[in-house]
Each structure stands twice: as structure tokens, then as C-alpha cells.
């Protein structure tokens, strides 16, 4: 296997994707919504009335215990950690979940739609190189954007509650948050890409591939619901376990993809 | 002594056959391809579609070989099997003494160039970007220079930085050809190279193919354009419903199909009264037909009998205006073969 060939496919896919206005629009709007607008909207209540905000959700002492909040943190910081773990972090997972789907849905379905599939299959590359190229084309840009969004998100949160920080730093010091951004997010993206590439290879066109792949994002909603009912769900151990589970699923879908993705079907199913 | 001579001749024949095999760069042996249509639910429906029904052929180095047939005959399937994109159900395919298998088909494709039926250009990339992408897979030493050369050859150099989607249909096809020849492959496959092109663009593409032949490349053309095949191909195979009906040089196919040859003799003046009797006495002519002042002669070998006929007619004071031998065009051959199929 030659990695160079996969990189060539990746570069070409990326070039064709960025020249498509709809993909470019979605890739710029999504990060703004989930990294800037939603967090600002959610944290405004804390800035206005920190004590009132935390009391709205229950007994402050119990909540501090449930969210594992250090005792030296004031109400504003405690409230911010609650909001981050309950909503901001699960919603952030939409970025590594949704962004790659937009590109990977186009991977094979787009080639079929544009009638370029056959000329790609006639290149001197094997199936594994082709699939890897398609996966990288979605993974590399979306994970770079995810990391950038994650860091931006942390900065925005810290800047918003700067009057209450008292020498503390939020977001970047919590292991469960860091694990979510730098470990869970990449594997979450890889799993979604792998499934979406398989869907794309079976779909007739990009739109149907995108609409089917869109369902992949529903587990994020599950995490939000679990987190609401079980505030202690997001911790370093559970995130590590979740990452392990996702990576195992990813490996299974790599195997499944290699079995299901048949170049013969890619040109005869058009 | 005689025995030794016979033995030597036999061995020479074997060597000759071996050399012929060595020379063939594309070889298909009993290749079949079946597709299954899962959408046909009824048991009485035949779900199997035999795109290729055991075809065998050989293409020698430097030859332009044409696969001729109507839409759905299996021409594209044949090319896809040769490329290793489709797996044949039976038979084997050998390219330059190397069998095409799904595991190393991609290695074999390094020496092949394919022009697909759909041009396969990326419309939102520029001409340069299109060629740069394809060329990058072939480890060319000076890709940029090569891109400039092929774009120049195709008359597209000025449009190098234009998006492929903005080109006309003929220009798109020329870009696809540029892509096909970019890595200077030894064997080229053209699937319907002039489909949808205007006559001027078609001529241009045909000349280009002939130009490639002069560079000693082997070319395999799929087409249903009889004129195109007749003009450029050294040998043709006529394919119908996945089976090869005839294979050979276009000029030889007619001889196999028509038992007798036809010679047409046009006279200037009305026919002499006793001509019918004279013609009947020409026992070297198999049969004849008179249509006003035109006489149609049929014989096993018109070249041999024509001087005798002319001599006899001159003796009878017939004023001969024109004599011509009917040469069966590829179109005649094709239509006859397709007609046989329907019968």
C-alpha cells in the first residue's frame, strides 16, 4: 500500500470540496454556531447572576458534588462548569460529528453523481488506498477545524467569565473536558466518517447519502440526555471508556467497509 | 530424411505460434461476465444478465483493434474486465504476459491509458489541476512539462487555468484524451471516443488516434460508429449480446460472410437482344441479374472471371461504360451479422 496515493486522493477531494459553495458555507456556519453563539447565549445567565443561576438547577452543594467542582471555585465558575459539561461539551461534539459527514457523504456518491467514479477506479491504486484517501479527505480538515473550535471555545468561556476567574483557568485544566476535545472528538469523527463513506458508496447521489448519514449525529443527543439525568456522566473515566467503545466500533466499520465497498458495485450501481 | 524435414517444420510452426502469443499484448480467453438483477422479483424472470458470454481475442503490439457492437453488446464491460475493475466470472485476461487479477490489477494499470465513455473530468477543477491529479499517480519526472506538452497537442494550452466545466463538449473530450495519454502508456483503451462529437471534432480525434498508432502504441477501441472503426482499425471484432460474431480485418470479414462476389457492369447502350443467351452460356459465372442496362455478375472470384466477361461482352459489341467490383463495407457486414442475430 502506498500512502502517497491516498494523500493524492485526499488533496483532490479537498480541492473539489472547497470549491463547492454549499460545503464551504456549512463548514463555516457550524463552527460559529456551536463555538461562539451557543456558548455565549448559555453563559450570559451566569455573568448576570451567578448564585441565582446555580440555584435554578437545585441545591448548590449537591450540584457541586455531582459535577465534581473544586470547593475553592465561586458560584460563577461552578455554574460555568455545569453549563460546559451539561450542554456546551455535548453540543461541541456536533462539530467533529457533523463536519466530516458533509465531506464524506460526497466521497463516493459525489463521484457517481459527477460521473467521475470510473476514471478514479481506473487509476493505478488499490481499494484500500482509495478508501483511506476518502477518509483522510474528510478527517484532516474536520479534525483541524474541531481542534480550532475547541480551543476557541475554551478561550471564549474564560474571557466571558474573566471577572470571576480569581486566578483560575477553566476548561483547559479539566481532564474530562480535554479528553473530550482531543481524544473522543477525533475517534467520534473517524467513526462517523467510516460509516458515512460506506453509506456514500451505496447511495445514488450526495443528497441521499447526506440525509442518511445525518442520522449518525443522534448519539450526541443521547449524551446530552444522559448528562441531564446523570450530571456525573462526563468524567475522565467515562470519556475514556466511551472513546474505547467508539474506536472499537470504528475498527469494526473499517472491516465492514472493506467488505462492502466493492469497486464493481460502485460503477454498476450508478 | 523426409521425417526430419517434417519434424523441423512442425517445430518451426510451434515456435511461430509461441512468437505470436508473445507478441499479443492483450489476450482474452473465454471471458464471461454475468450480472444479477436483484430487482426482478418473479421466479420466472431470468435474473442473470450475461454481459459477456465467453469471449476470446488477442490484440498484437502496435495494432488498432476495434470492438464493434450495438449499445448493450458488452463492449464497456469488456474494457472494465481488462482493467480489472470488473471480475470476470470465467476465463482469464492477460496483458503483456501478466494475468489480470483483482490483487494486482492496479499495478498493470500503470502501463495502460483509459478514455471512459463519460469524459470523467472534474468540472470544478482547472485543466491543469485535472491533469496534475491524474499525472501524480504515474511518477512522471517532469509532470508540469508533460502537462504543457499534452495540452499543446490537444490545442488546449491557452485554457490551462480554465475550469473544465467551462469547456465545450469536444474540448472536454480532448482534455480526457490528454489525461489518457499523459503518462505515455503502451496500451490505450478508448471507449466510444467520438460519441457526441461534431464531425470536425470526430475527425480530429480520429487523426489523433492514428497519430498514436504511428508511435507504435497498441490501441483498443470500443465503438458503434462503423465509419470510425473502418477508418482507423486494423482488425475488428463484432460483438452482439456478449458474444463475438466475427473477428478479423474489415476487408476479410466480407469474404467470410458472402459466398459469392459481385461485379457490376454498366453498358452505355440498350442490351443486345441475344445477350441473355450469351450470359447463360458463361459457365464460369455462377449467376447473373439484369436490371435495365446494368448487369450483375456473381462468382466465387470476380477478379478471375472479369477479363473473360469483358472479352465476351466486347465480342458481342456491347458498349461497356463502367465495371466495378462490389466491396462490402463494414456497415454491410455489421448489418448482415446483426440481422443474423435477429433471425
Q: Do A122 and B114 touch (CB under 8 A)?
A: yes
Instruction: For residue B186, give the C-alpha cell.
Output: 503502451
The pLDDT tens digits of the residues spanning A246-257 come to 999 999 999 998
Is A114's Cβ below 8 Å from some Cβ in B?
yes
- Which chain B residues contact residue A264 at CB under 8 A? 85-87
Q: Do B109 and A12 touch (CB under 8 A)?
A: no
How many whole angstroms separate alpha carbon B71 and alpha carbon A207? 30
Q: Do A263 and B85 touch (CB under 8 A)?
A: yes
Alpha helices in A203-235 (DSSP H): 206-213, 218-229
Number of domains within chain A:
1
Is B120's Cβ below 8 Å from some Cβ in A?
yes
Is A202's Cβ below 8 Å from some Cβ in B?
no
Scanning every residue of chain A, which has its alpha carbon at the shortest distance from the alpha carbon of B51? Answer: A268
Q: Do A8 and B123 touch (CB under 8 A)?
A: no
DSSP, res B119: -
Scanning every residue of chain A, which has its alpha carbon at the shortest distance from the alpha carbon of B77? Answer: A268
Question: Of A189, A209, A232, A7, which Cα lies nearest the Cα of A97?
Answer: A189
CA distances A177 to A85, B6, B105, B284, Å, are 8, 90, 47, 102
Least Cα separation, residue B160 to chain A (angstroms): 17
CA distances B74 to A206, B81, B102, Å, are 29, 10, 20
Which one is predicted more confidently, B276 or A73? A73
* Per-residue pLDDT, B343: 46
* Per-residue pLDDT, A56: 80
- Which chain A residues contact residue B98 at CB under 8 A? none
Q: Do B109 and A118 touch (CB under 8 A)?
A: no
Buried b (16+ CB within 10 A) or exposed e, A51-83: eebbeebeeeeebbebbebeeebbbbbbbbbbb
Least Cα separation, residue B162 to chain A (angstroms): 14
* Per-residue pLDDT, B330: 74
| Among B80, B116, B137, beta carbon nearest to A125 | B137
The predicted model gives A81-95 an average pLDDT of 88
Paired strand residues for B244: B239
Report percent pLDDT > 70 for chain A. Answer: 99
Q: Which of residues 150-179 of B touch A (CB under 8 A)?
A: 179
Q: Do A124 and B110 touch (CB under 8 A)?
A: yes
| Among A11, A119, A264, beta carbon nearest to B120 | A119
How many whole angstroms separate alpha carbon A223 and alpha carbon A182? 17
Select from A2, A18, A122, A265 the residue whose CB has the most chain B CBs within 10 Å, as the one to mutate to test that interface.
Answer: A122
Alpha helices in A162-235 (DSSP H): 175-179, 185-202, 206-213, 218-229
Which one is predicted more confidently, A162 or B258? A162
Is B134's Cβ below 8 Å from some Cβ in A?
yes
The pLDDT tens digits of the residues spanning A165-222 come to 888 888 998 899 999 999 999 999 999 999 999 999 888 888 888 888 877 777 777 7
Question: Of B160, B106, B51, which Cα lies nearest the Cα of A263?
Answer: B106
Residue keyed to cell 443467351: B277
How many Cβ pairs closer than 8 A exist between chain A and B? 64
With residues binned 3-state (H G I as helix, E B as strand, rest as coil), the percentages for chain B, rounded to 5, are: 40, 25, 30
Backbone conformation region of residue B30, classed left if phi is above 0, alpha if psi is from -120 to 50, else beta? left
Q: What are the strands of the beta sheet with B261-267, ordered from one edge?
A: B287-291, B294-299, B261-267, B320-325
**Residue B246 in contact with residue B256, Cβ under 8 Å?**
yes
| Mean per-residue pLDDT pooled into runs of 10, chain B (343 residues) | 65 57 83 80 66 92 92 91 93 93 89 92 95 94 94 91 92 93 94 84 86 88 85 90 88 71 84 76 85 85 86 84 80 75 50
Scanning every residue of chain B, which has its alpha carbon at the shortest distance from the alpha carbon of A117? Answer: B120
Scanning every residue of chain B, which has its alpha carbon at the shortest distance from the alpha carbon of A15? Answer: B125
Is A263's Cβ below 8 Å from some Cβ in B?
yes
Q: What are the strands of the beta sheet with B24-36, ordered from one edge?
A: B48-60, B24-36, B90-95, B98-99
Q: Which of residues 156-195 of A touch B (CB under 8 A)?
A: none
Confidence of residue A267 (pLDDT cuts 50, 70, 90): confident
* Per-residue pLDDT, A27: 84
Instruction: For residue A92, give the C-alpha cell.
Output: 461541541
Instruction: For residue A16, give the C-alpha cell.
Output: 473539489
Scanning every residue of chain A, which has its alpha carbon at the shortest distance from the alpha carbon of B101? Answer: A126
Q: Which of residues 178-207 of B touch A (CB under 8 A)?
A: 179
ipTM of the complex: 0.83
Confidence of residue A258 (pLDDT cuts 50, 70, 90): confident
- Alpha-carbon torsion (A7, B114, B154, B25), positive or negative: positive
Is B122's Cβ below 8 Å from some Cβ in A?
yes
Q: Do B137 and A121 touch (CB under 8 A)?
A: no
The pLDDT tens digits of the residues spanning A206-239 come to 888 888 887 777 777 777 777 777 777 778 898 9
Domains of chain B and any CATH numbers: 23-255 (3.40.50.300), 259-327 (3.30.70.980)
Domain extent, residue A260, equals 3-268
Amino acid at each position: 500500500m502506498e500512502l502517497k496515493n491516498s494523500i493524492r486522493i485526499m488533496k483532490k477531494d479537498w480541492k473539489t470540496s472547497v470549491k463547492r459553495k454549499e460545503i464551504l458555507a456549512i463548514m463555516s456556519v457550524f463552527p460559529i454556531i456551536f463555538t461562539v453563539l451557543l456558548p455565549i447565549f448559555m453563559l450570559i445567565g451566569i455573568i448576570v447572576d451567578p448564585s441565582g443561576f446555580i440555584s435554578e438547577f437545585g441545591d448548590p452543594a449537591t450540584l457541586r458534588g455531582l459535577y465534581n467542582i473544586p470547593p475553592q471555585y465561586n458560584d460563577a465558575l461552578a455554574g460555568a462548569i455545569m453549563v460546559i459539561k451539561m450542554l456546551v461539551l455535548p453540543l461541541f461534539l456536533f462539530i467533529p460529528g457533523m463536519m466530516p459527514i458533509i465531506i464524506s457523504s460526497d466521497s463516493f456518491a459525489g463521484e457517481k453523481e459527477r460521473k467521475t467514479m470510473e476514471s478514479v477506479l481506473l487509476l493505478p491504486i488499490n481499494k484500500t488506498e482509495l478508501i483511506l484517501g476518502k477518509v483522510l479527505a474528510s478527517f484532516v480538515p474536520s479534525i483541524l477545524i474541531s481542534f480550532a473550535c475547541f480551543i476557541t471555545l475554551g478561550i471564549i468561556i474564560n474571557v466571558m467569565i474573566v471577572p470571576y476567574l480569581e486566578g483560575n483557568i477553566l476548561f483547559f485544566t479539566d481532564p474530562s473536558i480535554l479528553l473530550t476535545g482531543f481524544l473522543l472528538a477525533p475517534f467520534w469523527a473517524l467513526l462517523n466518517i467510516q460509516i458515512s463513506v460506506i453509506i456514500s458508496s451505496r447511495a445514488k447521489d450526495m443528497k441521499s447519502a447526506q440525509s442518511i448519514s445525518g442520522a449518525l449525529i443522534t448519539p450526541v443527543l443521547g449524551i446530552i440526555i444522559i448528562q441531564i439525568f446523570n450530571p456525573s456522566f462526563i468524567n475522565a473515566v467515562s470519556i475514556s471508556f466511551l472513546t474505547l467503545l467508539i474506536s472499537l466500533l470504528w475498527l469494526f466499520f473499517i472491516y465492514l467497509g472493506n467488505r462492502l465497498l466493492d469497486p464493481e458495485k460502485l460503477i454498476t450501481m450508478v | 530424411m523426409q521425417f526430419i524435414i517434417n519434424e523441423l517444420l512442425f517445430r518451426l510452426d510451434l515456435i511461430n505460434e509461441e512468437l505470436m502469443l508473445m507478441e499479443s499484448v492483450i489476450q482474452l480467453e473465454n471471458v464471461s461476465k454475468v450480472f444479477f438483477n436483484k430487482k426482478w422479483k418473479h421466479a420466472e424472470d431470468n435474473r442473470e444478465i450475461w454481459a459477456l458470454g465467453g469471449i476470446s481475442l488477442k490484440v498484437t503490439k502496435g495494432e488498432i483493434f476495434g470492438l464493434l457492437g450495438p449499445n448493450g453488446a458488452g463492449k464497456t464491460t469488456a474494457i472494465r474486465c481488462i482493467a480489472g475493475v470488473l471480475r470476470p466470472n470465467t476465463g482469464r485476461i492477460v496483458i503483456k504476459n501478466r494475468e489480470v487479477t483483482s490483487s494486482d490489477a492496479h499495478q498493470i494499470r500503470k502501463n495502460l491509458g483509459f478514455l471512459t465513455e463519460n469524459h470523467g473530468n472534474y468540472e470544478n477543477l482547472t485543466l491543469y489541476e485535472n491533469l496534475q491529479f491524474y499525472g501524480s499517480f504515474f511518477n512522471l519526472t517532469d509532470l508540469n512539462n508533460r502537462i504543457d506538452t499534452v495540452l499543446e497537442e490537444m490545442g488546449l494550452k491557452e485554457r490551462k487555468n480554465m475550469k473544465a466545466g467551462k469547456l465545450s463538449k469536444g474540448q472536454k473530450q480532448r482534455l480526457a484524451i490528454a489525461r489518457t495519454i499523459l503518462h505515455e502508456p503502451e496500451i490505450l483503451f478508448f471507449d466510444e471516443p467520438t460519441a457526441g462529437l461534431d464531425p470536425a471534432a470526430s475527425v480530429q480525434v480520429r487523426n489523433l488516434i492514428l497519430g498514436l498508432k504511428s508511435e507504435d502504441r497498441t490501441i483498443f477501441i470500443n465503438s458503434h460508429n462503423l465509419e470510425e472503426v473502418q477508418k482507423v482499425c486494423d482488425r475488428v471484432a463484432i460483438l452482439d449480446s456478449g458474444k463475438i460474431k466475427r473477428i478479423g480485418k474489415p476487408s476479410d470479414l466480407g469474404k467470410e460472410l458472402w459466398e459469392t462476389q459481385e461485379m457490376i457492369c454498366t453498358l452505355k447502350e440498350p442490351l443486345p437482344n441475344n445477350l441473355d443467351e450469351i450470359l447463360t452460356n458463361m459457365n464460369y459465372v455462377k449467376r447473373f441479374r439484369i436490371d435495365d442496362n446494368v448487369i450483375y455478375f456473381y462468382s466465387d472470384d470476380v477478379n478471375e472471371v472479369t477479363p473473360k466477361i469483358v472479352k465476351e461482352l466486347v465480342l458481342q459489341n456491347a458498349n461497356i461504360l463502367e465495371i466495378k467490383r462490389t466491396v462490402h463495407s463494414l456497415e454491410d457486414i455489421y448489418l448482415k451479422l446483426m440481422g443474423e442475430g435477429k433471425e
